[in-house]
Structure 1
Amino acid sequence: MKKTNKIAELEILRAFAFLAVVLQHAIGHYAYAPGTTLADGVMLGGLLLLAKFAVPIFIFISGMVLCYRYKTEPVPLFPFLRKRIKDIFLPYLPWAVLYASIEGDHLISPLKHMSDMGTKLFTGTASYHLWYVIMTFQFYLLFPLLHGIVLKVNQRLTASGWGWTLLGLGLLYIGLTGQVSLIGHWTEGIPGVGDFFGEYSDRNVLYFFYYFVLGAFAGLHLERFKSLLLRYKQVLIGLFVVLLLWTWYRIVEHFQTVPELQIQYNDTLLIQPKMAIVLIASIPAMYLAAIFFTERASAALQRFMSIIGSYSYVAYLAHALMLVAATLIADDFLFFMNPTLRTLAAFAICSALSVAAAAAIRRLSASARRILSRTNSNAPMGKTESR
């Protein structure tokens, strides 16, 4: 099959999203640590809000790449799924087993341990960040089934039709994020469904579908999408900034100082209407940022960010473990700094360690494949039996 050209800014966008994920989780470590002040809470709340675009952007990229690749041809079902299993699920498994082994209860029976391990692998609960892999893999499973519908809809929609469709689906999605509890109540007790809309609703593909739809539109109409972004860049960036400031105010408003300081960031939870509005607005703003970066950053800086983007998936899998090391380093050697500065230090250390781990794993995998290939090529041919 003929390959389509790569989209220049995507590796930069992936790098942005990966770094934002690491920053979120570094903030999660220090936001409630002893010694955190009101000033730290306000600053960390702002940084957390700035980093929340990560998950929507990753989903957007998936939809964009798939629809850009298959915008004129059918999806070969088995080769498509085989590649996604190889590229997404197989790298996930050893990390999930590692995290489950670290966090698991080793005093239970071997059979119970295996059962718990299977549940954690299937649900993405082996570590706090693995939910995303389980959620996004649902898009890959559904895409071959929905691809034909996407192409037929695309053929029938005019430019204005696409605009009204995206607006309508966006409003539907925002409303849907406010009904998670109600839907969970309706499906409670239904075998195989209740848990999907209840306990595991935070990794239910339904509650993230709109970001994929936006990516699908961008992939099918790449030049038009970029043209629209550039034409309305002031409006899109301005809207995003206003929404950020509005949400930041709401976050700080919910802090309590009496009888003691209480910091909480519930306003930044992904699946809720007000946050959905912010996240939808973050996609064009961050894509514009990636375009501007690609056009204006130095070649060395672009290469640096592209390297991060190219390793982003395995680095994402590794970063929860690397964050443990990063926070230990920050706490032991930078204990004199306030929690905000230690957060930024741990973020930088964790990012570097995660990308380094991903690069090492890729290099080891390549070496193992070369050794296996050399071994197979040097193996003696089997003798044919003479009659």
Structure 2
Amino acid sequence: MSSSKRGRVSAVEAIRGISMMGVIGIHIGAEYLANPTPNIHLVALFDIGTRFSVPIFFFISAFGLFYGQSPSAPFSYRDFLVRRGRAVVLPYLVWSFFYILHDAWHYGMGIPPLSSIASMLFFGNAKYQLYFMVILIWFYLLMPLWRILLARMTLPLLAGILLVQVAFDYWSSFNTAFNLYVYGLPEGTLLRALLFYRLNYWVVHYIFIFLLGGYIALHFDAFRAWMERTTGRLYALGIVSLAALLAWYYKLILVDGYTPLQGIFTAHQLSPLGILYTIGATLALFAFFTHLGTNTLLGRAFQLLGKHSYFIYLAHPVAITYLLMVIYGRGYVLTAPIALTMYAATLALTLLGAVVVRKIGEQIPIVNELTIGLKPRK
């Protein structure tokens, strides 16, 4: 990894790769729960061990926005929005319309009415993975605020934001009165939709991990020196935070009588232990991939996955849909071995698709612009 301020940080690319693998795990885990007797340990692998995956993408996004930058340097908000619009909004719209049309055809439901499409696009509901892009767009829209905050950010202030984050996420996830109020609102009303889909656009759910990414990017030399001194302790934090989240999940199921589905809907990334695990996993993975580098086979594999993670993330529901069609069409139930095989097949097929589409896009640049927001280098 280059030590220069603007040098490429290979660990970030690798983290992008492993978090994308986690997102696929979460979505295959959701399908695996259709099995009437799921293996609770495989559910833990698919849906608890992967809980860092979504929040860590916000960390990576902020790191990329602020690495090698100064929040006090001249900044054109308009130019920023144009660049981010090309990189995120355009692919978001392309893939949203693709899934709207594909699912209308595949499931025989027909094209939804115009008002439904507007709602789908606003909340990121055209497909189950796309809501992340909506939150990311809101983070981009609030860029002037993040610049002001990070210009004044100190570690005590960051710790205070973490405490507010834990309290807010706990309220949003577990406050019975608030959630009963939301579920009690009439179906089809705007207020119900705005509150029900709050996870799809309320950036405050992930504000700490985003600001942490920005803070580390702005103080990267100091962070890297600290990380190299404390690598062992960072690994320990990652392992202990995962163990704590897993212990809670197993207690919910084995002691409290929760179903696996109830267990993963409780021990999620916005719970206090989930937030601790996000922080532990982020720091431990940063240290691990910094140490791993890019010269080993494993290091190169994660660089490849990171490079193509955007396309894989956007396209993997297609692979899941058709693999399930084959599995169920042949009369199989999604057992643990089949679910693991399906995971490997989804990752392999979407990686292959990403490589092929990227190659096509090198010859026909608009393909890369529309699918992954990549402009040809001048």
With the length of structure 1 as denominator, give the TM-score of the two structures: 0.80
Rounded Cα–Cα distance in structure 2 between residues aligned with 1:205 and 1:183: 18
Note the alpha carbon deviations across 1:225-257, whole angstroms, 9 max, x for none: 122223223323223322322221221222269
Asked if 2 retains the 8 angstrom alpha-carbon contact of 1:75 and 1:147, the reply is no
Aligned partner of 1:302 in structure 2 is 299
Asked if 2 retains the 8 angstrom alpha-carbon contact of 1:177 and 1:272, the reply is yes
**Cα distance change on mapping 1:196 and 1:174 into 2, 3 Å:** farther
Counterpart residue type for residue 131 of structure 1: Y
Candidates 308, 321, 324, aligned match of 2:321 = 324
Of stretches 352-361 and 317-326 in structure 1, the one that deviates more from structure 2 is 352-361
Note the alpha carbon deviations across 1:10-35, whole angstroms, 9 max, x for none: 11111111111111211111133145
Of stretches 128-137 and 70-79 in structure 1, the one that deviates more from structure 2 is 70-79
CA drift of 1:62 comes to 0.8
Candidates 236, 239, 243, aligned match of 1:238 = 236
Q: CA RMSD in A?
A: 3.3
Asked if 2 retains the 8 angstrom alpha-carbon contact of 1:15 and 1:309, the reply is yes
Rounded Cα–Cα distance in structure 1 between residues aligned with 2:210 and 2:366: 37
Rounded Cα–Cα distance in structure 2 between residues aligned with 1:144 and 1:183: 31
Aligned partner of 1:94 in structure 2 is 94
Residues 253-292 of structure 1: pairs in structure 2 closer than 5 A: 253-255=251-253, 262-264=259-261, 265-292=264-291
Note the alpha carbon deviations across 1:178-236, whole angstroms, 9 max, x for none: 121577769x99xx995586112112111111111110111001121122223223323
Counterpart residue type for residue 302 of structure 2: M
State the percentage of identical aligned residues: 21
Rounded Cα–Cα distance in structure 2 between residues aligned with 1:32 and 1:250: 23
Counterpart residue type for residue 233 of structure 2: V
Of stretches 47-56 and 12-21 in structure 1, the one that deviates more from structure 2 is 47-56
**Cα distance change on mapping 1:173 and 1:183 into 2, 3 Å:** farther
**Cα distance change on mapping 1:168 and 1:120 into 2, 3 Å:** same
Note the alpha carbon deviations across 1:280-308, whole angstroms, 9 max, x for none: 2221112122212216x61x433332121
Aligned partner of 1:377 in structure 2 is none
Counterpart residue type for residue 314 of structure 2: L
Count of matched residue positions in the alignment of Structure 1 and Structure 2: 349
Q: Does 1:52 align with 2:48?
A: no
**Cα distance change on mapping 1:221 and 1:354 into 2, 3 Å:** same
Rounded Cα–Cα distance in structure 1 between residues aligned with 2:235 and 2:366: 48
Rounded Cα–Cα distance in structure 1 between residues aligned with 2:269 and 2:192: 19
Q: Does 1:202 align with 2:204?
A: no
Note the alpha carbon deviations across 1:302-325, whole angstroms, 9 max, x for none: 333212111111211101111123
Task: Provide the secondary structure at the position in 2 that maps to 1:94.
Answer: helix
Rounded Cα–Cα distance in structure 1 between residues aligned with 2:79 and 2:260: 49
Counterpart residue type for residue 176 of structure 1: F
Rounded Cα–Cα distance in structure 2 between residues aligned with 1:194 and 1:178: 21
**Greater Rg, structure 1 or structure 2?**
1
Rounded Cα–Cα distance in structure 1 between residues aligned with 2:97 and 2:115: 12
Rounded Cα–Cα distance in structure 2 between residues aligned with 1:6 and 1:193: 44
Aligned partner of 1:357 in structure 2 is 353
Asked if 2 retains the 8 angstrom alpha-carbon contact of 1:100 and 1:120, the reply is no
Asked if 2 retains the 8 angstrom alpha-carbon contact of 1:96 and 1:130, the reply is yes
Asked if 2 retains the 8 angstrom alpha-carbon contact of 1:247 and 1:267, the reply is no
Rounded Cα–Cα distance in structure 2 between residues aligned with 1:327 and 1:226: 43
CA drift of 1:6 comes to 1.7
Aligned partner of 1:138 in structure 2 is 138
Asked if 2 retains the 8 angstrom alpha-carbon contact of 1:17 and 1:53, the reply is yes
Note the alpha carbon deviations across 1:32-56, whole angstroms, 9 max, x for none: 31453xxx11232144222111112
Candidates 27, 30, 39, aligned match of 2:29 = 27
Task: Provide the secondary structure at the position in 1 that maps to 2:313.
Answer: helix
Unmatched tracts of structure 2, length 5 or more: 368-378
Rounded Cα–Cα distance in structure 1 between residues aligned with 2:109 and 2:312: 31
